[in-house]
Chains A and B, each alone.
Chain A
Amino acid sequence: MNCEDVQTLLPDYYDDMLSPISRYAVQNHLKTCEHCNKELHEISVLFDSIAGRDLEVPPASLKENFSRMLMGEMQQEENKKRQKTGTTIIGMQSFSMLWKIAAAVVIFLGGTFLGTRLKTGSDTPSYSQINELKNEVKGVKEMMMFKLLQGESASDRIQAVDYVNEMPSPDRKVIAALINTLNHDKNVNVRLASLYSLAKFSDNPMVSDSLVSSLSRQTEPVIQIVLINMLAAKKETKAIQPIREILLNDKTIKEVKDIAAQKLKTL
C-alpha cells in the first residue's frame, strides 16, 4: 500500500471502521511512514475538536412554536376527518347499518307525521305534532350518538361527540356519556373532541366538577393543556389542587408544566 491508499483509509482507521485486513495493512504502513503518521495525528486533532464541541441550546421559542404548530395540525386533522364523514353521508357511498336504521326511523316518523296530517285534514300541522316529531328526532340523534360512541372507528366516535353540538339541551345521560368518553376513549382525538363539546356546558356544575376530576386522569399533554386552559379561563378554583399535582408529577412534560405554572398564578 502506498501513502495515497493509506491516506484515504485514515479517517475510517481512526473511527475503527476498517476490515481487519485493511486495518493491518494501514498499521504496517504507519510503522515506517512519518508523513502518514502526521496525517493521522491531524485527523485525530480535527475529529476530537468536532467531537468535543458543545451543542448549542436553541431558544425556548422553538418549543413553543412547535407545540402551537402541532395543536394547529391536530385541529386541522380533526376537521378533515369530520368533513370526510360528512361527505360520505351526503354521497351515500358507504352506508353503514346504523345509517340505514336511522334513515328507516326517519322515514317511518315522516310517514306517521304525514298520516296524522291527512287524518286531521288540516294543512298546517299543530304545534304539539311538530314538538312530538322534534322530540322523536332528538331521540333518534341520542340513540345514534350512543350507538356510534361504542363503534370501533374513531371518526364515527368523533361524529357521535359532534351530535351533542346539535342538541340544544343535552340531558344527564348524554353529558355522562361525553365525560366517560373524555376519560376512557382510547383515541386522543376523540377525547379532545368530547372535551371541546363538554366545554360548552362548563357552567353546568356536573360538567365543571367532572372536568376538574378528569385533570388528574389525563396523561396526554394536549388534553392536559386544553383542560388547564379551560378551567383557568373559567376561574375554577377547585382546579388549583389537581393542577398543582400535575406540576409536581415527574411524568408531566415541560410544556405542560410551564402552562400549569403560568395558569396557577391566574387562579
Chain B
Amino acid sequence: MEELTDESIMLSVKEGNLPSMTELFERYHVKLYNFFLKLTFDRIASEDLTQNVFYRLIKYKHSYDIGEGSFKSWMYKIARNVHFDFCKEQKKHAEQFKELEEVHENAESPEHFSNEEDFEKLNLALLQLQPDQRELIVLSRFEGLKYGEISRINGKSVVAIKVQVHRAIKQLRNFYFNQH
C-alpha cells in the first residue's frame, strides 16, 4: 500500500472525512506528546495538550491551506498556540522560570525520563533555558524542523530564526557543559 502524504490526508479530513484523522494521530501523537513533555516537563499536561492539538486540527480543518507549507508546520503552529494558551491559563509562565530550583523539584524528576546521566544533564540544561529559547531548541533539534518551517510556525523571518536558534544552541551548550 502506498504511503499517503500528511497533506493529502489532511485535505480529506477537510472535506469531511473525519476518520482519516486517525492516521495523522498515529503518525504524530508520540512526537507531539514528547514535544509538550520537553516544554512542560509535565506528563498529565502533555497528554491533555496533545489531545487538544488534534481537537483543534479538526475544529480548524477549514483553515488548512495546502499552499501555506507542510502539514507539519501547520500542526506545530497549532501545538505552539495550545502551549501558549496553557501557559497563560496556568499563569505559570513568569514564576516557572524565576524560581528554577523550585520548579525543578516540582517537575517530574529527570530520572523518570531516563536513567542515563546524560539525559538528566540534557533535561537540566533545557530547563534552564528561557521558554522561547527552549521552544526553538525543541522545534529545531528535537522535532527536526527546518528554519523555513519554524519561520512559518512563528511568523518570524528565516534569517532571524537562524540567529535565534544559534543563540539558543550556544546557551544550551553552556548549561550542558558547565553543570556542577
Q: Which residues of A contact B (CB under 8 A)?
A: 7-8, 11, 42-43, 46-47, 49-50, 52-59, 61-63, 65-67, 69-70, 73-74, 77, 154, 188-189, 220-222, 253, 255
CB pair B33 A77 closer than 8 Å: no
CB pair A46 B172 closer than 8 Å: yes
In the complex formed, the residue of B with least CB distance to A14 is: B169
Determine whether B154 belongs to the interface, using a CB cutoff of 8 Å to chain A: no
CB pair B51 A69 closer than 8 Å: yes
Q: Which of B21, B166, B176, B177 contacts A8 (CB 8 A)?
A: B166
A11 in contact with B165 given A53-B119, A65-B51 (CB within 8 Å)? yes
Residues of A contacting B55 in the complex (Cβ-Cβ under 8 angstroms):
69, 73
Q: A interface, by DSSP: helix, strand, loop or mixed?
A: helix
**Listed A/B pairs (21) with beta-carbon separation below 8 Å:** A7-B170, A11-B165, A11-B169, A42-B173, A42-B177, A43-B169, A43-B173, A46-B173, A50-B122, A53-B122, A55-B31, A55-B34, A56-B33, A56-B34, A62-B33, A63-B25, A66-B25, A66-B54, A69-B55, A73-B18, A221-B22
Q: How far is the CA of A221 from the CA of B118 in the complex (A)?
A: 42
Residues of B contacting A54 in the complex (Cβ-Cβ under 8 angstroms):
114
- 0/1 string, B100-118, CB within 8 A of A gives 1: 0000000000000110001
Residues of B contacting A42 in the complex (Cβ-Cβ under 8 angstroms):
173, 176-177
Residues of A contacting B172 in the complex (Cβ-Cβ under 8 angstroms):
46
| Smallest beta-carbon distance B80→chain A, Å | 19
Determine whether B8 belongs to the interface, using a CB cutoff of 8 Å to chain A: no
Q: How far is the CA of A89 from the CA of B141 in the complex (A)?
A: 55
Q: B interface, by DSSP: helix, strand, loop or mixed?
A: helix
Q: How far is the CA of A223 from the CA of B18 in the complex (A)?
A: 13
| Smallest beta-carbon distance A57→chain B, Å | 7
CB pair A56 B47 closer than 8 Å: no
Q: How far is the CA of A188 from the CA of B22 in the complex (A)?
A: 14
Residues of A contacting B169 in the complex (Cβ-Cβ under 8 angstroms):
11, 43, 46
Determine whether B142 belongs to the interface, using a CB cutoff of 8 Å to chain A: yes
Q: Which of A52, A63, A73 contacts B29 (CB 8 A)?
A: A63
In the complex formed, the residue of A with least CB distance to B33 is: A58
Q: How far is the CA of A42 from the CA of B171 in the complex (A)?
A: 12
A253 in contact with B22 given A50-B142, A53-B122, A62-B47 (CB within 8 Å)? yes
CB pair A58 B29 closer than 8 Å: yes
